[in-house]
Amino acid sequence: MSTKDSGYVYILTNQSFREGWIKIGKTSRPVDVRTRDLDNTAVPLPFDVFATIKTTKYNEVERLIHKTIDRLSDFRVRPNREFFKIDPFKALDIFKDIASVIDDAVIEENRDVIDGMLDEEQTCGNGRHKKSRFKFSMCDIQIGEYVIFDPTGIQVKVVSDDSVEFEGGVYKLSPFVRIFMPEDRRTPSEAYQGAKYFSYNGKVLDDIRKEKETATTPDND
């Protein structure tokens, strides 16, 4: 029996990237540690873990995934780099295909990130088209008003249609959650759908948005 340690191959997304860019790499350490390493001045926003494969063959699996994507088309953003212009859901399909023939491979999908992306998409025939990311105007919240970060009760000021201010810093919602989430409530991936963690007048922003969208959607009866 092999005693080789397991590692991870990961798909990372980043809200500051151009649409469709992802990072596919490997690490022998927990993936959240790797994402902290990557969270530096080279990128304005932190990375989100979309999915991982855990396996002792992570070096081989990463090479195979890169080669598979390269064969499909010229998806690599730059030669010898781990950035690809490919839909993360398509990359996840490749992960699943390769994991199915690896004895010890375990895939973990980050439902917070995936569900957040799915919330921003609508089915249209056989394809998908993206809706806008969360904006405060979707909830009729004006610049200058305040919302509550529910895990701690922090009150933050809305300073743009998608940003809040707290103690002199300006943040998008998801990065704010990642930075200020209490230690005992953090997820292993530290990836969060921001609008689910803030409230306005006692209602969660994500719920307000859904209510507004439902109210403006015509009945199909």
CA atoms within 13 A on the CB side of 68: 17
The residue behind tokens 């009866």 is 221
Q: Give the pLDDT mean for 9-15.
A: 89
Query: Order of strands across the sheet with 106-109?
Result: 83-85, 21-27, 7-13, 48-55, 106-109
Q: What are the start-end ranges of the E strands in the chain?
A: 7-13, 21-27, 48-55, 83-85, 106-109, 121-124, 127-130, 146-149, 154-160, 163-166, 169-172, 198-200, 203-204
Tokens of 184: 């005992």
SS3 207: helix
Q: Give the pLDDT mean for 135-164.
A: 95
Q: Which residues lie below 8 Å from residue 47, measured CB to CB, with a gap of 6+?
A: 12, 13, 14, 23, 35, 38, 39
Q: Give the pLDDT mean for 51-55.
A: 94
pLDDT in tens, 63-111: 999 988 888 766 555 555 688 888 888 899 999 999 999 999 999 988 7
Minimum mean pLDDT range among 26-30, 184-188, 190-194: 190-194
Amino acid at 12: L
**Buried (b) or exposed (e) across 47-67, using 16+ Cβ within 10 A?**
bbbbbbbbbbbbeebbebbbe
Phi, psi of 146 (to 5 degrees): -120, 145
What was the pLDDT predicted at 122? 40
Query: CA torsion angle for 129, 189, 62, 85 (degrees, to 10)?
Result: 30
> What's the pTM?
0.56
Phi, psi of 42 (to 5 degrees): -75, -20
pLDDT in tens, 100-115: 999 999 999 887 777 7
Tally of residues, the chain = 221
Q: Cα(107)–Cα(93) distance, rounded to whole angstroms?
A: 11
